[in-house]
Structure 1
Amino acid sequence: MRITKVFNNNAVLGLDPVGGERVLLGTGIGFGVRPGDPVDASLIGKTFVPTHGTPPERLVRLLADIPADDLDLAAEVLEDVQDVLGPDAAEHVLLPLADHLSFVLRRTRDGAPAIEYPLQWEVPTLYPAEAALARRALRVVERVRGVRLPDAEAVPVALHFVNAQLGTADMSQTVQLTRVLTEVLQLIADDLGVRIDPDATVTARFITHLRYLVVDLRAERAPRSAPDDQMAAALRDARPREWGTAERVAALVGERFGRTVDPTEVPLLALHVDRLRSEGDR
């Protein structure tokens, strides 16, 4: 990795071998070096990934405003859940999670009322695994700091964990995704006249598929897989109602994100819709 910009003695911007930017922190990592010099890996303390919403300069400013012990607390929270999120989660969400925890701990110390977050129902329903991790994270905060944060804080923390799995730090995109997922499930329930069980395995698999469909859509990547034309035609003929619902799902997702969903996604969506219908008919 090579240095592309020096912010100060303890912060630089590095470029990895595949062209990815990283904000690198470490005592003395920026001292006496210039753009183009190799990074001394032994000096790297923490690594952060800049995003469209949080460019490198803003990352460095945020880091200057977050107390070091709050940054360490967020790192401990992520270390506790990395068995689920993976070891790279901290690169994307350590800083925004630290910023949020610092903010809510300060409010709690000041005796401010708990924040009423939107999506109180949607987040635990759509992301049960991340919601469970968020409750676990609040217990880590209580153990480390001796402060019991309001239960409602599990909502934003869970959204940070969703971000970690999607490889982004942009909370607004995840909030938008959550609202679109809710719309999609309601569309399917209304179209087919069934109740969607939020706890069913088929629902969890469908939501996972939609999450990665949206990631690919935003990145303008081709679908990851698709049935062949013969299988798709057979499915369309055998399940015309579910196929029509899948087409409406694709149109809704495309409209909400300002993209065109590849037609090869429709058979995959139809398979998920059929499973949701079967589960709802039980």
Structure 2
Amino acid sequence: MRVKKVFNNNVVLGVDEHGAETVLMGRGLGFQVRPGDGLDAGRIERHFVPQAMPAERLAALAAAIPLDEIEVMEEVVADARERLGADISEHVLLPLADHVHLALARARVGTQIEYPLKWEIENLYPAEAATGRAALDIIERRLGVRLDGDEALPLALHFVNAQIGSGSGGIAATMQMTQWLRVALETIGERHGVEIDQHSLAAARFITHLRYLFLRARDGKPTPEVGDGIGEAVRQAKPLQYATAERLAHKMEEMFAWTVGREEILYLALHVSRLTARDDSTEDTRADT
């Protein structure tokens, strides 16, 4: 590994023999080294492979964050991985650290930000929201600063983003998806006259399905196939739920200009049926609304 660019005494952009770039960190790693110099592997404490942003931008981000804050965020990421699973990888560390670095600066001068989607994050992503609150406890214990409770919300979105792998869209795409989830649940509740329990198993499964529907539609990936005739059978047996699924597909097309296929509508109808399971005696009078 050789130096491509030095950002400060602790951060350099390295390049291997194949031309692949990696952001490298270590105390004093960049001291008195120049582009083209070889790097002592024993002095490299952390490395980050660029994914959602160019390597130089990632390195500049790392250089702007004190090492002690990055060390704290390593504990936050480790805790999040224990709570949420292995999808919380090291790739989320620097975006998290960048957010916390700015939040700490705001806290020092008494500035607060009002974050949108507070209800949605708390109710659609309860595990991630709880992990965000736990992160605030770790930050206070390690750095002696208690961040405002709402700072857990963007941290939760970072954890959601890490799990679904929303790629170049980053947090903006995750917020877009969160808005879509809210619209979908509101649509079901209004059309069926029910109050959906956000914390029920059926709701959790539906939200998970919607997350991956959002990503499949956005990325143009095919829907898992189902057997011939199943869609028509569901439409005949559950006309109101199927009509609601069609409405959800139409709303997604309106919001994002994406095409939602017939098989995807079938999956949506099955989830709607589970969410609204009750006396179906009123279906015939409402199925065409």
Q: TM-score, normalised by structure 2?
A: 0.82
The answer as to whether partners of 1:71 and 1:95 remain within 8 angstroms in 2 is yes
**CA shift in 2, pair 1:7/1:248, >3 Å:** farther
The answer as to whether partners of 2:132 and 2:155 remain within 8 angstroms in 1 is yes
Aligned-residue offset at 1:71: 1.5
Larger Rg: 2
Aligned to 1:83: 82
Deviations 1:218-269 (A, max 9, x none): 222112x243122222111101111111111112123322221222111110
Letter in structure 2 aligned against 1:249: L
The answer as to whether partners of 1:194 and 1:280 remain within 8 angstroms in 2 is no
Please, which runs of 5 or more residues in structure 1 have no aligned partner?
none
Deviations 1:83-103 (A, max 9, x none): 233345243321111011111
Aligned to 2:5: 7
Q: What RMSD in Å do the two structures reach over aligned CA positions?
A: 3.1
Aligned to 2:142: 144
1:167 aligned residue (165, 168, 181): 165
Letter in structure 1 aligned against 2:217: L
Question: How many aligned positions are there?
Answer: 271
- 2:184 is equivalent to residue 200 of structure 1: no
* Aligned-partner SS, 2:51: coil
* Aligned-partner SS, 2:275: helix
- 2:47 is equivalent to residue 49 of structure 1: no
- 2:62 is equivalent to residue 63 of structure 1: yes
Letter in structure 2 aligned against 1:45: R
Structure-2 separation of matches of 1:98 and 1:128: 22
Aligned to 2:73: 74
Structure-2 separation of matches of 1:41 and 1:256: 51
Structure-2 separation of matches of 1:243 and 1:277: 12
Aligned to 1:115: 113
The answer as to whether partners of 1:24 and 1:44 remain within 8 angstroms in 2 is no
Please, which runs of 5 or more residues in structure 2 have no aligned partner?
281-289
Deviations 1:150-169 (A, max 9, x none): 11111111111111111246
Deviations 1:106-149 (A, max 9, x none): 22122x13322111111111111111111111111122122221
Aligned-residue offset at 1:280: 10
* Aligned-partner SS, 2:76: helix
Q: TM-score, normalised by structure 1?
A: 0.84
Structure-2 separation of matches of 1:103 and 1:279: 48
The answer as to whether partners of 2:23 and 2:50 remain within 8 angstroms in 1 is no
The answer as to whether partners of 1:235 and 1:267 remain within 8 angstroms in 2 is yes
Letter in structure 1 aligned against 2:134: R
Aligned to 2:232: 233
**CA shift in 2, pair 1:68/1:260, >3 Å:** same
Aligned to 1:210: 210
The answer as to whether partners of 1:122 and 1:182 remain within 8 angstroms in 2 is yes
Aligned to 1:251: 250
Aligned to 1:97: 96
**CA shift in 2, pair 1:88/1:121, >3 Å:** closer
Structure-1 separation of matches of 2:180 and 2:226: 25
Structure-1 separation of matches of 2:212 and 2:104: 33
The answer as to whether partners of 1:138 and 1:148 remain within 8 angstroms in 2 is yes
**CA shift in 2, pair 1:43/1:229, >3 Å:** same
